[in-house]
């Protein structure tokens, strides 16, 4: 029996089935009729066999057969009035519409009835299977959409602690595993028990003694399956985690394939991957061994029961004559038809165990708290008009970790160009990320035009902010689609003008298909300078009020840097800009320079003021770069 507390993740998955309730009703109705016609198609083998055994089949013979049958039912089911009435009703109908004719005609009629029974059985089975497939795939789609949508709502803090490959594995592999659990709940748990009930009803009509004997094996089956189900749950969780490890490994190593080759690590990485694959192989083999054991164990117990039934039923036919040969043959057909649904029912627990293990990993992500939340009825930032202000801003990733930013205070007026410099790890990138609410400050507040950024709608806030980072993040799309990314509408003329302002138009025209050229995953078909200029064109087309440049030229050669810097100057015209730069020569013309060290502001001023303070950090950093150049 499923305990709700243990299977709470699995039951949460079932909530996603709610939108498909109308199809589930149709599935339920189709399943009922499928079970009835399945039982009828098997039961009709009895009169079919009876037709072959009779030498003469006329009205009187048929009546005699019906009377004999009713006597046996009275013997077998004397204390079960419903079964007696049901069997008598079926016998009367068969006598009236089938057997009151010649043997040849009776054979034709019973064959036609069997064909009709199988036709209706397969028709209702098709409806049930098709509708269930629709529901399963709909739930999988909805789960994937919910998971991906939730990931987009999480702050950048979450992604700093989570491997991308692991997230991909949860979205793809774990959700796929859930599929079998859904069908187990809404088909197997309904259809197979109904089939068992129908077959048992027919078997009880024929011989309740044989039926009880066949049921004696059930307790042993349940004990075996319960034990195997627990083992499968434990192995299933391990398999999903190992698949996530493999996905993460592949994502990281394929992304860094140039480094792997440059450091001659191909052979070592092969060994590392083999180790991961071997671990997954071992868990899969264990899982397969346990899973496959349940089927032969059930079948063996079923065969033991079948032999007992044949032995006991044969005695009733041969010696006591309390059961007709045709009825015994029909009973055997029915009992063997019971075995497949019983095996399916015993496998339900295993499938649910696997689905529950996968669901736990999925809901670990869906239950992740959203750090950056939008308030009810937020303010829409239509245009940046006045200033950006940091007041006592402190930030750290986790409560027990060191502060990344500590008591930051400064104000930036519209149109100012603010450079943020300092040693690596000083907190420069985190500071500008707080403006766009990629993170929220742990303490303190940030204001834009006098309103806390937390009170703006996130969409309108980020619409007014353009970002160009050191690593140009482009997508495997055309050049044009990368430039207009994030915009609902952009004309070809606007895209071209943005590319021209970013010094990108000329090299784009030299590409095989111009603006319609696919640039490869992460834009790897382009050079670093080309990728950066397309990123700047993207920011230009967005036309934001506030610009953030996070070391946008630090990874470029001198020629590319000149072109990119010119594009940046075009982009910054009449806009407020925050520039993070390691190359201090690029920030000389900034309105002000903020120097950060160990999360604190240690200096603020323009280039001349800061360079004059020879004991200050800025002067030391500048001197180091000057002599290095």
The predicted pLDDT at position 234 comes to 63
- Predicted confidence (pLDDT) at residue 365 exceeds the cutoff of 90: no
How far apart are alpha carbons 423 and 243 in whole angstroms? 39
| 188 falls within a domain | yes
How far apart are alpha carbons 437 and 266 in whole angstroms? 40
pLDDT tier, 549 (very low <50, low <70, confident <90, very high otherwise): confident
**Lowest-confidence region among 64-78, 405-419, 435-449:** 64-78
| 4 falls within a domain | no
Residue pair 503/454 in contact (Cβ under 8 Å)? The answer is no
Say which CATH number the domain at 290 has: 1.20.1560.10
| 402 falls within a domain | yes
Which of 320, 339, 364 delimits the end of a domain? 364
Q: How many CA atoms lie within 13 A of 30 on its CB side?
A: 19
**511 and 441 within one domain:** no
Say which CATH number the domain at 414 has: 3.40.50.300
pLDDT tier, 262 (very low <50, low <70, confident <90, very high otherwise): low
Highest mean pLDDT among 99-108, 483-492, 555-564: 483-492
- Predicted confidence (pLDDT) at residue 63 exceeds the cutoff of 50: no
Highest mean pLDDT among 287-301, 410-424, 463-477: 410-424
Residue of 513 and 183 predicted with greater confidence: 513
- Predicted confidence (pLDDT) at residue 137 exceeds the cutoff of 60: yes
Q: What is the mean pLDDT of residues 48-76?
A: 48
**312 and 180 within one domain:** yes
| 110 falls within a domain | yes
Which of 340, 364, 388 delimits the end of a domain? 364
**360 and 400 within one domain:** no
Residue pair 389/47 in contact (Cβ under 8 Å)? The answer is no
Which of 415, 534, 547, 551 lies closest to 484, judged by CA?
534
How far apart are alpha carbons 210 and 276 in whole angstroms? 53
| 96 falls within a domain | no
**551 and 460 within one domain:** yes
Which of 339, 364, 389 delimits the end of a domain? 364
Write out the two tokens for 106: 């009776």
**228 and 113 within one domain:** yes
Q: What is the pLDDT of residues 228-249, one digit of tens each?
A: 666 665 666 677 777 777 877 7
Q: What is the pLDDT of residues 5-29, one digit of tens each?
A: 566 777 888 888 889 889 889 988 9
- Predicted confidence (pLDDT) at residue 468 exceeds the cutoff of 60: yes
The predicted pLDDT at position 408 comes to 93
The predicted pLDDT at position 64 comes to 42
Look at the chain and report how many structural domains it folds into: 3
Q: What is the pLDDT of residues 177-210, one digit of tens each?
A: 887 777 777 777 778 888 888 888 888 877 777 7
- Predicted confidence (pLDDT) at residue 432 exceeds the cutoff of 80: yes
CB atoms within 10 A of CB 148: 12
The predicted pLDDT at position 474 comes to 83
The predicted pLDDT at position 596 comes to 93
Instruction: Look up the domain containing 156 and give its range.
Output: 19-57+101-364
**159 and 216 within one domain:** yes
Q: Which stretches does DSSP call E strand in 253-320?
A: none
**285 and 148 within one domain:** yes
Residues written for the chain? 629
- Is residue 609 classed exposed, middle or buried when 0-12, 13-18 and 19+ CB atoms within 10 A define those classes? middle
Is the pTM of the predicted complex or chain greater than 0.75?
Answer: no
Residue pair 514/478 in contact (Cβ under 8 Å)? The answer is no
The predicted pLDDT at position 58 comes to 42
- Predicted confidence (pLDDT) at residue 1 exceeds the cutoff of 60: no
């Amino acid at each position: 029996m499923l305990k709700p507390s243990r299977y709470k993740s699995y039951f949460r998955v079932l909530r996603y089935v709610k939108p498909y309730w109308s199809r589930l009703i149709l599935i339920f109705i189709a399943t009922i009729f499928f079970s009835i016609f399945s039982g009828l198609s098997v039961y009709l083998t009895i009169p079919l066999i009876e037709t072959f055994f009779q030498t003469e089949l006329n009205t009187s013979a048929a009546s005699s057969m019906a009377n004999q049958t009713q006597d046996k039912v009275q013997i077998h089911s004397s204390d079960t009035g419903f079964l007696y009435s049901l069997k008598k009703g079926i016998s009367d109908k068969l006598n009236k519409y089938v057997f009151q004719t010649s043997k040849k005609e009776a054979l034709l009629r019973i064959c036609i009835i069997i064909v009709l029974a199988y036709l209706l059985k397969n028709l209702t089975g098709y409806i049930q299977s098709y509708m269930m497939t629709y529901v399963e795939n709909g739930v999988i789609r909805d789960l994937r959409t919910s998971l991906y949508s939730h990931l987009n709502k999480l702050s950048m803090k979450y992604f700093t602690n989570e491997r991308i490959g692991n997230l991909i594995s949860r979205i793809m592999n774990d959700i796929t595993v859930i599929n079998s659990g859904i069908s187990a709940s809404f088909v197997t748990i309904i259809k197979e028990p109904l089939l068992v009930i129908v077959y048992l009803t027919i078997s009880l009509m024929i011989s309740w003694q044989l039926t009880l004997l066949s049921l004696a094996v059930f307790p042993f089956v349940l004990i075996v399956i319960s034990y195997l189900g627990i083992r499968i749950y434990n192995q299933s969780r391990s398999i999903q985690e190992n698949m996530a490890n493999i996905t993460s490994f592949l994502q990281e190593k394929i992304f860094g394939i140039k480094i792997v080759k440059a450091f001659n690590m191909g052979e070592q990485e092969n060994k590392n991957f083999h180790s991961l694959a071997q671990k997954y192989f071992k868990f899969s083999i264990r899982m397969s061994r346990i899973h496959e054991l349940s089927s032969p164990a059930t079948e063996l117990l079923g065969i033991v029961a079948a032999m007992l039934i044949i032995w006991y039923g044969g005695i009733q036919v041969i010696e006591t004559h309390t059961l007709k040969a045709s009825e015994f043959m029909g009973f055997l057909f029915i009992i063997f038809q019971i075995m497949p649904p019983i095996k399916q029912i015993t496998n339900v627990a295993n499938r649910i165990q696997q689905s529950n293990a996968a669901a736990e990993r999925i809901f670990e992500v869906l239950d992740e708290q959203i750090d950056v939340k939008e308030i009810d009825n937020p303010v829409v930032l239509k245009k940046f008009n006045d200033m950006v202000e940091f007041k006592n801003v402190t930030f750290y990733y986790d409560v027990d970790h060191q502060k990344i930013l500590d008591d930051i205070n400064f104000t930036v007026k519209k149109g100012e160009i603010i450079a943020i410099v300092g040693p690596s790890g000083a907190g420069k990138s985190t500071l500008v990320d707080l403006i766009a609410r990629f993170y929220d400050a742990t303490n303190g507040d940030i204001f834009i035009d006098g309103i806390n950024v937390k009170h703006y709608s996130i969409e309108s806030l980020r619409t007014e902010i353009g970002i160009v980072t050191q690593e140009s993040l482009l997508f495997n799309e055309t050049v044009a689609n990368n430039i207009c990314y994030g915009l609902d509408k952009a004309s070809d003329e606007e895209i071209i003008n943005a590319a021209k302002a970013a010094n990108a138009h000329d090299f784009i025209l030299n590409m095989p298909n111009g603006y319609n050229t696919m640039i490869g995953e992460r834009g790897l078909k382009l050079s670093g300078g080309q990728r950066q200029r397309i990123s700047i064109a993207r920011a230009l087309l967005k036309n934001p009020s506030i610009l953030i440049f996070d070391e946008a030229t630090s990874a470029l050669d001198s020629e590319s840097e000149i072109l990119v810097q010119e594009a940046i100057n075009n982009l910054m015209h009449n806009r407020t800009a925050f520039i993070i730069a390691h190359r201090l020569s690029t920030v000389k013309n900034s309105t002000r320079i903020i120097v950060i060290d160990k999360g604190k502001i240690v200096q603020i001023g323009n280039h001349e003021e800061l360079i004059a303070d020879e004991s200050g950090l800025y002067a030391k950093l500048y001197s180091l770069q000057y002599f290095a150049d």
